[in-house]
Structures are given as structure tokens and as C-alpha cells.
Amino acid sequence: MFKFTRNEVRDLIIAFFVISLCFAIVNAGRDVGAIIAILPIVMVGVGLGFILHELGHKFVSMKYGYWAEFKLWPQGLLFALITSFFGFVFAAPGAVYTYANYMTDEINGKISIAGPIVNIVLALIFLGVAAAIYPSAFHSSTSALIFIVCAIGYSINSFLAVFNLLPIGNLDGSKVLSWNFGIWIITFAIAGIMTLLSMTMGVENIVRLIIGF
């Protein structure tokens, strides 16, 4: 059964808010007014991306019969906040801990890759909605707002996927690489290309290319 502890819910809420704030700072600079204005928009992309990423790990862990729980890493959260003032976010607010006496590299890899795959899928969903809503965004303020939300959602989820797939330290990429190099390189390449396109072309130009606008 998919259960949450009270401490887990508290940690998820804290991490969700602080990470959202970090990405708002990156996108708005040090302008407090701009940060407050963009924060609700960023929360949609970051909220879905962060929460569902962690729930992806938790769901797969519990599918294999293990108990899994998200725990906050205060030092990582503070570091993410500090780095955001320098124009990037080192997002390591915490992790889902899977409690098991023994776990194969395959199961550990599948649990680990679940989070980045969630982010890739979410990014593509955001991009699809952005493409569908783009023509009407020129005539409707509601459509324009939805497009902005989706553009940020695509960029953030692409970044979260490629960041977590880095094969360093305790990130997901290290565990996926230990399990299957082929699967790691494919998912890392997909996430990397999506992030690169977001940073170089911009979401609006990606959408224009897709719909031939």
C-alpha cells in the first residue's frame, strides 16, 4: 500500500517550497517583486517535477516490496538556495530512502531511473501542451499564462532529469549506470538534448519548429 508518514509529508512540503523558490530566483534574479510574481508559475513545473520524481522512486520501491520514505537533507537544501543566487541550482533537497537488507543492481537501477523518467515524460507533456496552446496565446492572456507555465515546466523538468542522471556521488545516474550502461546513456542523452535545446533555442522556438508556426 502507498503510505506516507507525517514527517515525510512535512519534508516533501518544505523541499517543494524551497526548491521552487530557488528556481524562481534563478529565473527572476534578485528582484523580490519578480520572484514573488513568478513563484506560483515555477511551483507548477517544480512542484509536479519534484514531487512526482520522488514518488516515482517511492512507487517502484514499494512495488518491489520495500518500505521507502522521503527524507529532507537540510544541508542540500541550503546549498541549493545559495547556488540559486549565482544563476544555477544544485538541487539536492533530499531523497527517497529505500529500506532493504539486500537489493540487486537491477532493482536499484530501476528504482533510481524512475525519477528521471518521470521528469522526461512531464517535460514532454508540458511541451505538448505548450505547442497546442501557442497559437491562441497571442489572443488570450489565459493561454499566454498557460504557455509560460508549460515553458518553465519543460525547462525545469528537462534539467532535473539530466541533473539526476549524472553518474556522480549518490545521484540516480550512478545507480542506473551500475545496472545498465545502455539504458543510462539513452536516457541521459534524451534528457541532455532536451535540456540543451531549452537552453539554446528556447521553448518558444522549439514549439514553433514543432507546429511549423
CA–CA dist 108, 122 (Å, integer): 22
56: phi > 0 → left, psi -120 to 50 → alpha, else beta; which? alpha
Asked if residues 96 and 11 have their Cβ atoms less than 8 Å apart, the reply is no
204 catalytic, yes or no? no
Q: Cβ distance 56 to 96 under 8 Å?
A: no
Long-range contacts of 172-175 (CB under 8 A, 24+ apart): 172/112, 172/113, 172/115, 172/116, 173/112, 173/116, 175/105, 175/108, 175/109, 175/111, 175/112
> Which residue, chain included where needed, has cell 508559475?
41
Q: Which residues contact 172 (CB under 8 A, 6 or more apart)?
A: 112, 113, 115, 116, 164, 165
Catalytic residue among 8, 54, 69, 204: 54
Residues in the chain: 213
Which residues are known catalytic residues? 54
